C-alpha cells in the first residue's frame, strides 16, 4: 500500500525491456564512454605530468587524482545502469 512511485516505475520499465535486451546482445561502445570526460581526464593527466616534471609545487598530486576521477566517470564505472532503447 505504501509503495514508492519511482521504484515502481523503474521496476516496470526494466521488466518490459529485459526481453528486448536479451534480443540485443551487442552493446555499443558509444553508450558507455563519455568522450568529454575522457578528454578532460587526458588533459588533466598531461597537466599533472608536466607539473611533476617541471613544477616546483605539488599540484600534480591533486591533478592525478582528478584525472583518475574523470577517467572513472568517462568510462562509465560509476552510477546506475538504466537501459535506454
Specify the pTM.
Answer: 0.60
pLDDT at 46: 97
Judge contact between 32 and 76, C-beta under 8 A: yes
- Domain assignments of the chain as residue spans, ordered by start: 5-74
Predicted confidence (pLDDT) per residue in 27-43, tens digit: 555 667 889 999 999 99
User: What are the DSSP E strand ranges found in 1-85?
Assistant: none
pLDDT at 7: 53
What are 68-73's contacts with CB under 8 Å, separation 24+?
Answer: 68/41, 69/41, 70/37, 70/38, 70/40, 70/41, 70/44, 71/37, 71/38, 71/41, 73/34, 73/37
pLDDT at 26: 46
Residue 77: pLDDT band with limits 50, 70, 90: confident
Amino acid at each position: 500500500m505504501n509503495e514508492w512511485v519511482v521504484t515502481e516505475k523503474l521496476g516496470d520499465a526494466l521488466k518490459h525491456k529485459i526481453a528486448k535486451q536479451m534480443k540485443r546482445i551487442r552493446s555499443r561502445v558509444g553508450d558507455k564512454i563519455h568522450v568529454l570526460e575522457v578528454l578532460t581526464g587526458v588533459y588533466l593527466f598531461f597537466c599533472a605530468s608536466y607539473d611533476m616534471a617541471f613544477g616546483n609545487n605539488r599540484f600534480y598530486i591533486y591533478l592525478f587524482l582528478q584525472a583518475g576521477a574523470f577517467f572513472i566517470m568517462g568510462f562509465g564505472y560509476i552510477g546506475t545502469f538504466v537501459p535506454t532503447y
